[in-house]
């Protein structure tokens, strides 16, 4: 059923706009008049083919966005409706009626029309790859094949909410250190650029040899005031060169290796990858997706080429008859306890539940590691800022002490 975007006047003569689904333009006019609205403009939204060319997002207006939270909500709602025995097309129609976001309403209408015309839900979702990931589409495909679509959708909602929660905790833990770093840098820049020159001008007028810290401070202040534009150009150039380097495959591999090998953050990065690996693979296997297909999907979302190479090598070994635990044990990025737990899951035939336990274990370790990292960052930042401010104060006081001695 097409979806129309309308502008109309209500019974009080005030303008309003929105979306309405109807069989035809005449039917849309009738629905609007029945609701007490008199349309001044009525236009059918874009077709599925146009949306499909851009992943379903081309025709979103400037301020229209579809958040991941909204996808999780409609996934859980669809699972509830299907579990209650409501047919898929009717369930999608119910979601359209209660969806507030116009962009998401249009996408859902396209999906419903495709299903109503005989397409599978998997094929309808695959027309919008920017909204529905490979994990989402493959799990829905397995749910349709096994006849347990409602269960799979419930798992998808749980999985998405867990991933969102983990990302939220990571961001929340890093907000304070980043905020302090920005504020501290700004204050230090203000001191050196504007406050220090007014104070040190007295020392330069004395025409006496100044202590080394004072000369360094005056030099830094003059450079910031006179050549700040050169520093900005250099920073922009370095940023451009870094972006160019990271756009190449060799640069991406070096970046990924640095991420895994950093003294403090490397440990957190490895645990985040292990959490994502275990939770995603467990959810896919629970939904009936074959192991090799599941590993292919996991390899594309770990966001690290070195770990992705390990997963590809493991897939080749598994296809030759090896177990997953033995295929991963030679990698330095998968710790022995991870391999042992996977091996126990394979031997007991409960790999899915064991992966879920592994994911929960590493999720707790990630939270602990982040708390430890942020608690370490704060004193380092305070010490660094204290040292910088102390250097400024010392550089100003040293000439004063020398003048007192002369007197």
- Whether residue 283 contacts residue 298, with contact meaning beta carbons closer than 8 Å, is answered with no
Tokens of 36: 């007490």
What would the pLDDT profile of 260-295 be if each residue is shown by its tens digit?
Answer: 988 878 888 898 889 889 988 888 888 788 888 888
pLDDT beyond 50 at 335? yes
Q: Which residue has the higher pLDDT, 371 or 346?
A: 346
Give me the pLDDT at residue 65, please: 77
pLDDT digits (tens, 9 = 90+) for 51-84: 444 444 444 444 457 888 888 899 999 989 998 8
For residues 150-157, give the mean pLDDT.
Answer: 84
Percent of the chain residues past pLDDT 90, beyond the cut: 14
Tokens of 374: 């942020």
- Which of the two residues, 235 and 193, has the higher pLDDT score? 235
| Contact in structure between 177 and 381 (CB atoms under 8 Å) | yes
Give domain limits for the chain: 1-44, 265-368
pLDDT (tens digit per residue) in 19-29 = 676 777 777 77
For residues 48 and 127, the answer to whether their CB atoms sit within 8 Å is yes
Residue 39: enclosing H or E segment and its boundaries? strand 38-44
Tokens 């922009």 correspond to what residue? 236
Residue by residue, DSSP assigns 217-232 as: HHHHHHHHHHSHHHHH
Q: Residue 288 in contact with residue 297, Cβ under 8 Å?
A: no
The yes or no reply on domain 265-368 and CATH 2.30.30.90 is no
Terminal CA-CA length for the chain: 93
Residues 6+ apart with CB under 8 A from 52: 127, 128
Residue 156 CB-density burial (10 A; 0-12 exposed, 13-18 middle, 19+ buried): buried
| 321: its two tokens | 């008859």
Residues 108/74, Cβ–Cβ less than 8 Å: yes
Q: If pLDDT is split at 50, 70 and 90, which confidence band does 407 have?
A: low
DSSP string of 89-109, one letter each residue: HHHHHHHHHH---HHHHHHHH
Band (pLDDT 50/70/90 cuts) for residue 212 is confident
Q: What is the pLDDT of residue 404?
A: 67
Averaged pLDDT score across all residues of the chain: 82
- Give the pLDDT band of residue 385 (cuts 50, 70, 90): confident
pLDDT score recorded for residue 1: 55
Tokens coding 20: 């309405």
Strand partners, 39: 8
Residue 39 in this model has a pLDDT that exceeds 60: yes
Enumerate the β-bridge partners of residue 3: 21
Task: State the pLDDT at residue 184.
Answer: 81
Mean pLDDT of 336-362: 90
User: Averaged over 157-177, what is the pLDDT?
Assistant: 78
The pTM (predicted TM-score) of the whole model is: 0.65
């Amino acid at each position: 059923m097409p979806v129309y975007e309308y502008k109309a006047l209500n019974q009080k003569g005030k303008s309003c706009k929105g979306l309405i689904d109807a069989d035809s333009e005449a039917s849309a006019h009738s629905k609007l008049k029945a609701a007490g609205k008199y349309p001044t403009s009525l236009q059918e939204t874009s077709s599925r083919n146009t949306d499909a060319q851009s992943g379903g997002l081309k025709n979103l207006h400037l301020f229209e966005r579809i958040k991941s939270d909204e996808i999780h909500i409609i996934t859980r709602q669809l699972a509830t409706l299907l579990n209650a025995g409501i047919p898929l097309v009717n369930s999608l129609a119910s979601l359209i009626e209660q969806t507030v976001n116009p962009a998401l309403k249009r996408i859902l209408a396209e999906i419903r029309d495709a299903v109503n015309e005989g397409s599978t839900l998997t094929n309808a979702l695959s027309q919008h790859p920017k909204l529905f990931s490979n994990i989402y589409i493959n799990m829905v495909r397995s749910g349709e094949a096994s006849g347990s679509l409602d269960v799979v959708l419930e798992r998808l909602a749980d999985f998405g909410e867990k991933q969102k929660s983990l990302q939220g905790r990571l961001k929340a833990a890093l907000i304070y250190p980043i905020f302090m770093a920005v504020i501290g840098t700004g204050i230090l820049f203000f001191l050196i650029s504007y406050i220090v020159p007014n104070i040190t001008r007295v020392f330069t007028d004395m025409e006496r040899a100044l202590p080394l810290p004072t000369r360094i401070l005056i030099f830094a202040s003059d450079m910031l005031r006179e050549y700040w534009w050169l520093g900005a150009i250099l920073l922009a150039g370095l940023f451009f060169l870094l972006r160019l380097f990271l756009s190449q495959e060799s640069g991406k591999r070096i970046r990924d290796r640095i991420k895994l090998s950093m003294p403090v953050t490397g440990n957190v990065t490895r645990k985040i990858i292990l959490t994502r690996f275990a939770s995603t693979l467990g959810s896919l296997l629970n939904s009936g997706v074959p192991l090799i297909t599941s590993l292919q999907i996991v390899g594309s979302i770990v966001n690290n080429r070195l770990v992705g190479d390990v997963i590809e090598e493991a897939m080749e070994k598994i296809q030759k008859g090896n177990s997953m635990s033995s295929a991963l044990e030679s990698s330095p990025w998968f710790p022995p306890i991870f391999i042992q737990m996977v091996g126990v899951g394979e031997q007991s035939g409960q790999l899915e539940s064991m992966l879920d336990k592994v994911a929960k274990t590493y999720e707790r370790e990630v939270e602990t590691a982040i708390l430890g990292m942020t608690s370490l960052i704060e004193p380092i930042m305070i010490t660094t800022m204290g040292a910088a401010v102390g250097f400024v104060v010392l550089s100003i006081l040293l000439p004063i002490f020398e003048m007192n001695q002369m007197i």
